[in-house]
Amino acid sequence: MNSSHSDVADGGPIFTERLSSWTERNEKRIILSQIVSMYLKMFENTDSSKAHVRNIAEELSTLKESLSDGSKKIEDLKDLINLQMSDLKVQRKAVNELFSVLQKLGDTSSSYKRKRSQFQRLCKC
């Protein structure tokens, strides 16, 4: 695989640009696990008789093991995107869950506020 061909620059980066919108550590681990999987898939179809290719594939496999598998989370997001919110049954179920969803959202935002206020107290700026 020769990455010095002129067409490499066409259309911009494949992975690095996507990483910029994933800011939280756990979010990054999800997207990175998928990116590493894509690299592993790419290396499956290459000549593994070369030592450097084998070494890179082994390193990627080790990294993959250390990252949590984000595929279940990605499937959850796809399922949410495909929910038919015009369906009355889905709407009734959603309304039934609204309070607990808001409660979980409140828990997350209050822990964020708490972390921020703890930092402000520690910082003598």
Please report the sign of the dihedral spanned by the C-alpha atoms of residue 24, residue 25, residue 27, residue 28.
positive
Residues 71 and 22 in one domain: yes
Residues 107 and 50 in one domain: no
pLDDT tens readout for residues 30-49: 888 888 988 999 888 887 78
Which structure tokens are listed for 9?
Answer: 């620059």
**30, 22 in Cβ contact below 8 A?**
yes
Domain count of the fold of the chain: 2
Residues 17 and 73 in one domain: yes
- Tracing tokens 């984000």 back to the chain, one arrives at 70
Distances in Å between the Cα of 107 and the Cα atoms of 82, 110, 124 are 26, 5, 27
**40, 64 in Cβ contact below 8 A?**
yes
Question: What is the model's pLDDT at position 53?
Answer: 84
Domain that holds residue 98: 85-125
Residues 35 and 22 in one domain: yes
Q: What percent of the chain has pLDDT over 70?
A: 84
Residues 89 and 40 in one domain: no
pLDDT tens readout for residues 60-115: 998 888 887 777 888 888 999 999 999 999 999 999 999 999 998 888 766 555 55
Residues 22 and 64 in one domain: yes
The pTM score is 0.64
